């Protein structure tokens, strides 16, 4: 394997674009390892090396495999399939060419034989006639010419009929043969080409399987590799981490040295050390997601929000609920709006004075136009919410410049609304944290 | 330049051999890919993050590597309350206060103890990483189940793992690793680890062993066991695992290698022909393999249908 000529940098940038947390150090690590003699044995070893250094989870592995096949493994697959196609051509066409030549010569020779037979017949006829006419030598030349021409015509007709018959026969047979051959070709091509077709299907399957293996990957395929999202997965995770309200809660496990010393100062001797509970994050977040309708294009984005939020597991409590267009009296536990729950119930049982609400909805900006009803319903909902929760923020997947002239612009006055971008998400988190934003 | 170590996975402890802490040692049979990853981690002096199904031997790897290379092992088992600093050192402030107080009252404490008490360094207790850094030998460090700790935990270890040094705040002492430790980190994926931390680690997913590997593993643990029994037990075990996989999907907890070994140990307690007979019928000693009521019910339902 030629190590000096590997498209490693391309693979690296592709993976980086796909959202893998890779820095230039990680690239250098691969080079260092290659210099150290790792991963140079063959392609599989190189793949394992890159995988160990660059891939950090099973989801990333599927992505890595896909890109590795495309960038480095891809060449092999392409040349393989080219080879097999060539083989296919060789087997089916190059070998058939002589066959067709043969057939042509067969027909040609048949034709010549027939003509030959015709001539032979003619000569025989002429000879016999000449033999027959030999005693009548003194017949006039004109007669001879006439007789000859009649003879010729006779001969022509006599020979052309069998030739025609033979030709018909041959043509028919030829046609039958051709059809039969087509049939044979039809039945032989699969025999030989199934191998290739199968191979190619396997390649496709391999690619697809690596995508399908993890259901999430299908959705990630475009998102991760295309960088289509205004906020990457990393940025989302990063932003969620700012969402914190640390409080001391639980068992007294941490020694408070300062308080202990102070206590000794007061009491004159150490009676018992002072312990305090640990700091824990008590943020309680309700993520309300607008689902279906005009939000269909943003489902992948909302799902990503939800996954990154739940994956971190650092918040006190997270509730994810769904609604359609604008929340009425009910919110739904599932994206398909099957399990409904009264909003008042959610707030009563799950909510507390620490609860924060983040709404993810286009607020009518995706479809455009102004809906009085939507605005009124939303206003009602927000005012109901504001009585119970301290902070509400709104993330709108539609860019801000498209809010004007739609309900979104008015709804933005009810609750701080931000477009989905890194800055927008930061601002929304700031609002939820009770900080200033801008 | 430190001596370059190479892990081969071929040097195995003898049956009944015990390590320094008196624990029984068992053979460890890694795949070629894992061996490569270990050597890469040793060469690049980076921590190796291991993920995989529970019970597939993530934790045991560190011990196996330490055994083969003849290096000391420092294990750091993470709990939900563990803080990053605990792995480096803990400062016993309470003892110091108590001693200071005893010294002040002029009783109990002997005069020769005074210098010890006045030196704050004597109240520093080193953690696993702290000890490894001070060892002149390269030390194998196991940070087990890192995902159990707080989400900030991995980030708090970045500097220590990156630059291999830390400062004891109470004494101002700076500790620089004398020899780069070989660090293994295991995670059960309960929490996402921060990207900054992931970037500094090598990653390897420990796969569930294939059938021949499983047979080999059982063989190495029970060299005296007859082959028929091993083959049959492994086959029965895999059947159960497949059924579990079908029912629960890929995400559910399935029976693991460590449970197979436990189960086999139980099977070995009984006469061979009896066990062989039992393996044909109902799953013997199912309690070793089926840990939840749902698993049990699922198994019973499945076996009735069969």
Is the pLDDT reported for residue B252 higher than 80?
A: no
Distance of CA A52 to the CA centre of its chain: 24
A255 chain-B contacts, CB cut-off 8 A: 93-94
The 10s digit of each residue's pLDDT in A184-205 is 444 333 333 334 334 333 333 3
A270 chain-B contacts, CB cut-off 8 A: 97-98, 101
CB contact under 8 A, B202 and A25: no
* A55 and B CB contact within 8 Å: yes
Is the pLDDT reported for residue A88 higher than 80?
A: no
Chain B: closest CA distance from residue A52 (Å): 5
The 10s digit of each residue's pLDDT in B126-169 is 999 999 999 999 999 999 999 888 878 888 898 888 888 999 98
Is the pLDDT reported for residue A209 higher than 70?
A: no
Query: In which band, very low, low, confident or very high, does the pLDDT at A396 lie, cut at 50, 70 and 90?
Result: very high
Compare A191 and B230 and report the one with higher pLDDT. Answer: B230
- For chain B, the average pLDDT equals 85
The 10s digit of each residue's pLDDT in B290-306 is 877 777 787 777 766 55
Cβ-proximal residues to A126 (8 Å cutoff; 6+ apart), any chain: A148, A151, A155
Q: How far apart are CA A302 and CA A335, in angstroms?
A: 10
The residue-averaged pLDDT of B247-275 equals: 82
The 10s digit of each residue's pLDDT in A138-150 is 545 666 666 666 6
Is residue B63 within 8 Å of A235, Cβ to Cβ? no
pTM over 0.90: no
User: Residues 203 to 262 of A: which have CB under 8 A from any B CB?
Assistant: 234, 237, 241, 253, 255, 257, 260-261
Q: How far apart are CA A38 and CA B32, in angstroms?
A: 13
CB contact under 8 A, A237 and B202: no
Query: In which band, very low, low, confident or very high, does the pLDDT at B38 lie, cut at 50, 70 and 90?
Result: very high
Q: How far apart are CA B155 and CA B194, in angstroms?
A: 7
If you count them, how many residues does chain B have?
A: 306
Query: In which band, very low, low, confident or very high, does the pLDDT at A208 lie, cut at 50, 70 and 90?
Result: very low
Chain A residue with CA closest to B97: the answer is A270
pLDDT of residue A202: 39
Pairing of strands B202-206, B48-52: parallel
CB contact under 8 A, A61 and B205: yes
Query: In which band, very low, low, confident or very high, does the pLDDT at A179 lie, cut at 50, 70 and 90?
Result: low
pLDDT of residue A313: 73
The 10s digit of each residue's pLDDT in B83-100 is 889 999 999 888 888 887
Compare A210 and A333 and report the one with higher pLDDT. Answer: A333
Q: Which two tokens mark A176? A: 């039958």
Residue B142 dihedral angles phi and psi, to the nearest 5°: -110, 120
The residue-averaged pLDDT of B198-216 equals: 88
- Identify from B195, B197, B206, B207 which residue to disrupt to test chain A contact, counting A C-beta atoms within 10 A and taking the largest count: B195
Distance of CA B134 to the CA centre of its chain: 22
- Identify from A56, A224, A236 which residue to disrupt to test chain B contact, counting B C-beta atoms within 10 A and taking the largest count: A56
Is the pLDDT reported for residue A245 higher than 50?
A: yes
Percent of chain A with pLDDT over 70: 63
Is the pLDDT reported for residue A77 higher than 50?
A: no
Above 0.90 for ipTM, yes or no?
no
- Using CB atoms, which residue from B192, B198, B204 is nearest to A52? B204
């Amino acid at each position: 394997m030629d190590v000096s000529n590997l498209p490693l940098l391309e693979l690296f940038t592709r993976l980086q674009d796909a959202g893998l947390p890779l820095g230039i150090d990680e690239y250098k690590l691969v080079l260092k390892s290659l210099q150290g003699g790792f991963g140079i044995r063959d392609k599989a070893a190189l793949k394992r090396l890159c995988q160990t250094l660059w891939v950090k989870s099973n989801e990333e592995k599927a992505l890595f495999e896909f890109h590795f096949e495309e960038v480095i493994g891809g060449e092999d697959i392409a040349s393989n399939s080219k080879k097999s196609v060539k083989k296919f051509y060789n087997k089916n066409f190059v070998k058939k060419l002589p066959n067709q030549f043969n057939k042509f010569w067969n027909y040609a020779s048949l034709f010549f034989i027939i003509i030959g037979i015709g001539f032979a017949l003619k000569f025989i006829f002429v000879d016999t006639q000449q033999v027959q006419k030999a005693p009548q030598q003194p017949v006039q030349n004109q007669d001879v010419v006439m007789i000859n021409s009649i003879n010729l015509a006779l001969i022509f007709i006599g020979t052309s009929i069998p030739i025609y018959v033979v030709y018909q026969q041959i043509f028919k047979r030829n046609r039958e043969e051709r059809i039969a051959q087509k049939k044979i070709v039809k039945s032989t091509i699969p025999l030989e080409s199934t191998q290739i077709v199968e191979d190619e299907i396997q390649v496709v399957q391999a690619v697809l399987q690596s995508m399908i293996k993890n259901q999430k990957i299908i959705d990630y395929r475009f998102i991760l590799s295309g960088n289509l999202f205004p906020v990457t997965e990393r940025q989302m995770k990063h932003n969620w981490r700012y969402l914190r309200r640390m409080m001391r809660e639980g068992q007294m496990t941490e020694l408070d040295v300062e308080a202990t010393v102070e206590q000794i100062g007061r009491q004159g001797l150490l009676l018992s050390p002072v312990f305090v509970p640990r700091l824990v994050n008590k943020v309680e977040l309700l993520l309300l997601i607008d689902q279906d309708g005009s939000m269909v294009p943003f489902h992948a984005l909302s799902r990503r929000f939800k996954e990154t939020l739940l994956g971190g597991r650092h918040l006190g409590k997270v509730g994810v609920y769904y609604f359609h267009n604008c929340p009425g009296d009910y919110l739904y536990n599932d994206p398909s709006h099957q399990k409904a729950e009264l909003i008042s119930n959610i707030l009563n049982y799950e909510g507390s004075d620490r609860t924060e609400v983040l709404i993810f909805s286009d607020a009518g900006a995706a479809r455009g136009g102004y809906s009085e009803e939507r605005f009124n319903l939303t206003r009602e909902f927000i005012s109901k919410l504001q009585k119970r929760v301290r902070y509400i923020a709104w993330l709108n997947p539609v860019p801000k410049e498209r809010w004007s002239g739609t309900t979104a612009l008015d709804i933005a006055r009810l609750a701080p609304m931000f477009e989905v971008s890194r800055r927008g998400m930061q601002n929304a988190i700031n609002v939820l944290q009770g900080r200033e934003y801008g | 330049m430190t001596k370059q170590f190479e892990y081969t996975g071929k040097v195995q402890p003898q049956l009944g051999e015990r390590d320094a802490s008196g624990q029984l040692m068992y053979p460890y049979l890694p795949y070629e890919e894992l061996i490569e990853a270990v050597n890469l981690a040793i060469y690049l002096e980076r921590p190796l993050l291991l993920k995989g199904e529970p019970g597939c031997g993530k934790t045991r790897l560190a011990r196996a590597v330490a055994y083969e290379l003849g290096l000391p092992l420092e294990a750091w088992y993470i709990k939900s309350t563990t803080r990053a600093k605990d792995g480096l050192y803990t400062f016993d402030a309470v003892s110091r206060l108590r001693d200071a107080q005893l010294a002040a009252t002029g009783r109990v404490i002997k005069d020769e103890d005074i210098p010890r008490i006045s030196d704050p360094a004597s109240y520093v207790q080193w953690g696993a990483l702290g000890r490894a850094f001070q060892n002149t030998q390269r030390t194998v460090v196991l940070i087990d189940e890192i995902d159990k700790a707080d989400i900030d935990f991995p980030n708090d270890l970045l500097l220590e793992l990156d630059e291999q040094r830390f400062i004891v705040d109470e004494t101002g002492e700076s500790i620089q690793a004398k020899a780069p430790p070989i660090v293994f980190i295991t995670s059960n994926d309960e929490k996402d680890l921060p990207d900054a931390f992931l970037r500094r680690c090598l990653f390897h997913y420990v796969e569930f062993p294939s059938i021949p590997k499983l047979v080999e593993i059982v063989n190495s643990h029970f060299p005296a066991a007859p082959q028929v029994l091993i083959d049959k037990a492994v086959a029965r075990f895999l059947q159960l695992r497949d059924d579990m996989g079908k029912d629960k999907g890929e995400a559910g907890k399935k029976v693991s290698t460590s449970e197979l070994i436990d189960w086999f140990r139980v099977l070995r307690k009984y006469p061979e022909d009896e066990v062989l007979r039992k393996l044909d019928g109902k799953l013997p000693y199912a309690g070793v393999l089926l840990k939840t009521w749902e698993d049990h019910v699922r198994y019973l339902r499945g076996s009735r249908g069969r």
